[in-house]
Amino acid sequence: MTQLGAFLLPAVPLLALLAALLLGRYPGCEAIVRLSERIAATARRPSRPASAAAPARPRSHAPAGGLLLAVSLSGRAPPRWDLSR
C-alpha cells in the first residue's frame, strides 16, 4: 500500500487542479484580473509632465557587455581549408 501512496501522492495537486477546471472554477483568475487592473491603472497615470522630462542621451554605438568581450577576443578568422587536396 505504501508504494501506491508514494505513487499517487505527487498526483494529488494535479488531480485537484483538474477537478477544479472540470467544475468550471479557474484558480487564480481573480488574482490575474486584479493584477492587470493595477498595471493598467499605473500605465494611465503620467509620472511627470512631458515638458519636465530630461532630454534623451544620444545612443552609444560602442560595444558593451558580452559584445565587448566578443570583440576583444575576436581576431582574424582561421585560414581557409584547401579541400582540393
Sorted by where each begins, the domain ranges of the chain are: 14-45
Distance of CA 36 to the CA centre of its chain: 17
Backbone angles phi, psi at 59, to 5 degrees: -75, 135
pLDDT per residue as tens digits for the range 33-84:
898 898 888 876 665 565 666 777 777 677 677 777 777 777 776 677 777 7
Q: How does residue 22 score in pLDDT terms, banded at 50, 70 and 90?
A: very high
Report pTM. 0.37
